[in-house]
Amino acid sequence: MPYHYRIQEITFSDSSTLSLPNLTVIVGPNNSGKSRALKDILKLTTTNNKSVLVVGRALTNFPQNAKELESTYGISPILDHEGQAHFRFLQPTLHDEQNIGYGGAVRKWPDDFDAFVKRPDHFLTHFGAQLPAMLTTEGRLSLVSQKPSAVDPHQAANLLQVLYASGREKELEIRQIVSEAFPGIQIVLDFTIPQRLDFKVGTDFSNLPPDPRDARATLVKCERLDDQGDGLRSYVGIAVARTTLRRPVVLIDEPEAFLHPPQAFRIGQFIASQASPERQVIVATHSADVLRGVIFKANDVLVARIDRAGDNNVVNTLDPVDLRRLTADPLLSAAGVLNGLFYSGVVVTEADADSRFYQLVSNKVNTGLDFHFVNADNKQTVPKVLAAYKKLGMECAGVVDIDVLNNPEEFNKQLEAAAITGDPLTKAQEAREKIDAEVRATPASARLETARKRISEMKAAADAALAGNPNVQEKILDQLRRESEKLKADASGWQVLKKGGVAALKNTRAEFEKLYAICGAAGLFINPSGELEASLSDYGVHWEADKRAWITRAVQLVPNLEVNLDKQPWRLISDVHDHLRKREV
């Protein structure tokens, strides 16, 4: 079988070792070490410099002899005008030409170079930089900008020279790739001026004359790629590099940079389509869209999530089958569960308003935390979302209203998702039963009398509105809708607890504190205020049935409040922070 260079394994600073398939995607929160990992891999495979931070080892496979490098990758020295042997190639970052010179004649190839493949340090010095390519975020924009043409047949000083030497078929392939991502846009390599290479942009180049002298009159009127947006230029840079280079390993940092979500999804698909046993790709991304594109297209893919715990990097592999299930599940997909992979922790809430409010409070408590707040749609689906994150090895927590204790079957699902078992499970269930018993002990006659009074007030308002104008009637109808929600609250003992929180409990507050501690230790937090709309009662924003009106007032008030960890909602969110950050301690 022909020789194919590969990075077989990498070992991270936490001693975790990953065997790399054709395609590896590294995900994780900001500043977790994703980009640094790529730089370390490049350094370990191209130099003898071992001053690395995130990846401490990269194991590659070496050829049996130098001839195998020539047979597979066309690597061989050339003679300069003085008869000296040189390797001339594009540097791994693809911006400049690198030259490694030797005395003697080219006839000494390959036998005199076989010794260089026997020792890793010699291999890295002589051949390492000729095998990988590194596409950085900042470097991609200039990869396909206007460049000088080659001055001799052996020069490869820039990516456009490589594309020109690759021929028309490769150029047409790239044109198709770009057009699929950017409908209505085509690109063409303009070499009508012999001294320079430049990309031009148009809508249709199918009838462009093949002779550059004939094409010049058309291309001189076209816009240059250099004058286009960063997204298009970055996309073209990735497409050209991945399509034209013979490099067996390509490292791509943040391919989503400058791209809108549809293009980010498509670049993920393109990258996945380019990975093969002969062409290994390692990507670091902060984009759920890129990840979706990759897992949509590729089966043989390793997804590694990297995070920081104090001064250490922690790596966890994610099953692509599980990731595909997340994208296929309507609830999990709509909730944007994949986005949580790019944060250091996730907080799952019951509704969109809950996510908005708790995130606002979280930022007040600590602005330096990188947590994702996701809406599970209701409390019944919070366990499903939490279970998905736990299976991916994520630090996560759920925040639910106090009426999660109302239904024992539903509450047990919450406990199961939080992985509460054994004695803590028994104690949690017993505490719930005692709280439920107190709530249901509220006399029905008292609740019925309160409901009767509210119904009487609603009827009086409706009767008075019948004689008014339509505008007044609409206002009364809106009022009646709000009052009907309050009526439901009046008729239920649990609604009383939702409005008053733990303070409404007379005999079982200690049971709630016990329950709160058990569940909180497992990442399930029960709102001591009752429900969201009671979270600011200490600040004069009292419970009301109109959640939209309440959240509007709340988001205006919270930025102006002082954090007090002895009060709610600050204490609740501080407890959530402590749970999500426990790995840092």
List, in sequence order, every beta strand (DSSP E) within 254-311: 280-284, 301-309
Q: Are 545 and 492 in contact (CB under 8 A)?
A: no
Number of domains the chain is built from:
2
Asked if residue 393 and residue 422 are part of one domain, the reply reads: yes
Q: Which two tokens stand for residue 351?
A: 């509704």
CA 349 to CA 581: how far, in whole Å?
18
CB–CB of 371/343 below 8 Å? yes
Which secondary-structure segment (H or E) carries 404?
A: none
The sign of the torsion formed by the CA atoms of 122, 128, 129, 131 equals positive
141: pLDDT strictly greater than 70: yes
347 in helix, strand or coil?
A: strand
In the predicted model, is pLDDT for residue 540 greater than 60? yes
Contacts of 494 (CB under 8 A, 6+ apart): 403, 406, 439
User: Residue 367 domain-assigned?
Assistant: yes
- Residue 585, pLDDT above cutoff 60: no
Tell me the average pLDDT across 470-482. Answer: 81
| Assigned domain for 270 exists | no
**Domain contains 13:** no
Q: Is residue 239 part of a domain?
A: no
Residues 353 and 433 in one domain: yes
Say if residues 268 and 289 touch (Cβ distance below 8 Å): yes
Number of Cβ atoms within 10 Å of the Cβ of 142:
16
HEC secondary structure over 462-505: HHHHCCCCHHHHHHHHHHHHHHHHHHHHHHCHHHHHHHHHHHHC
My answer on whether 433 and 469 are in the same domain is: no
Domain boundary among 431, 463, 493: 493
The one-letter code for the residue type at 102 is Y
Report which listed range, 244-248, 390-394, 436-440, 580-584, is most confident. 244-248
Reading the block at residue 231, the tokens are 């997204």
Beta-bridge partner residues of 304: 26, 317
Rounded to whole angstroms, the Cα distance separating 420 from 432 reads 14
- pLDDT of 25 reads 97
Measure the N-to-C terminal CA separation of the chain; round to a whole number of Å.
51
- CA–CA separation, 293 and 288 (whole Å): 9
Whole-angstrom CA distances from 425 to 209, 428, 514 are 76, 5, 12
Q: Are 418 and 389 contained in the same domain?
A: yes
Q: What is the pLDDT of residue 303?
A: 94
Residue 272: the pLDDT is: 95
At 492 the pLDDT is 66
pLDDT score of 447 more than 90: no
Burial (0-12, 13-18, 19+ Cβ within 10 Å), 121: exposed
- Say if residues 403 and 492 touch (Cβ distance below 8 Å): no
DSSP symbols for 295-343 = HHH-SSEEEEEEEEETTEEEEEEE-HHHHHHHHHSHHHHHTTGGGGGGS
Supply the range of the domain harboring residue 578.
Answer: 331-441+509-584
Same structural domain, 433 and 559: yes
Q: What amino acid is encoded at 408 in this protein?
A: P
Is residue 322 domain-resident? no
User: CA 336 → CA 94, 207, 292, 376, 386, distances in Å?
Assistant: 36, 44, 11, 10, 13
Alpha carbon distances (Å) from 467 to 461, 480, 483: 11, 16, 20
Do 535 and 454 lie in a common domain?
Answer: no
Residue 304 has phi, psi (to 5 degrees) of -115, 125
Q: What angle do CA 98, 102, 106 make, to 5 degrees?
A: 105
Q: CA quadruple 142, 145, 148, 154: dihedral positive or negative?
A: positive
Token readout for 495 is: 């609604």
Shared domain for 436 and 534, answered yes or no, is: yes
Nearest residue to 351 via CA among 329, 330, 379, 332: 379
Taking a C-beta distance cutoff of 8 angstroms, is the pair 371, 347 a contact? yes
Over 90: is that where the pLDDT of 305 sits?
A: yes
pLDDT of residue 373 exceeding 90, the answer is yes
410 exposed, middle or buried (CB, 10 Å; 0-12, 13-18, 19+)? middle
Length of the chain measured in residues = 585
Band (pLDDT 50/70/90 cuts) for residue 569 is very high
| Average pLDDT of span 288-315 | 89
How far, in Å, CA of 197 to CA of 244, rounded?
15
Q: What is the pLDDT of residue 82?
A: 74
Residues 408, 527 within the same domain: yes
pLDDT band at 485 (very low <50, low <70, confident <90, very high): low
Contact 401, 350 (CB under 8 A): yes
Least confident residue range of 97-106, 242-251, 297-306, 415-424: 97-106
The verdict on 338 and 483 lying in the same domain is no
**Rg of the Cα trace of the chain?**
32
pLDDT score of 490 more than 70: no
At residue 256, what are phi and psi to the nearest 5 degrees?
-80, -10
**Mean pLDDT, residues 327-355:** 88
Same domain, residue pair 349 and 374: yes
Residue found by looking up tokens 């429900």 in the block? 531
User: Is residue 338 situated within a structural domain?
Assistant: yes
CB count in 10 Å sphere of residue 482 = 13
Q: Roughly what angle, to the nearest 10 degrees, separates helices 159-166 and 230-244?
A: 50
Residue 104 scores a pLDDT above 70: no
Q: Which is nearest to 23 in space by CA: 315, 306, 319, 300?
A: 300
- One domain for residues 398 and 454: no
Task: Work out the mean pLDDT of the chain and round it to a whole number.
Answer: 90
417 and 538 part of one domain:
yes
Of the three residues 493, 521, 555, the one that is the final residue of a domain is 493
- Residue 90 in any domain: the answer is no
Which range among 25-34, 139-148, 179-188, 451-460 shows the weakest confidence by mean pLDDT? 451-460
Categorise residue 71: left if φ over 0, alpha if ψ from -120 to 50, beta otherwise.
alpha
Give dist(CA 263, CA 293) in Å, integer: 10
| Mean pLDDT score, 352-357 | 94
Is there a domain that residue 226 lies in? no
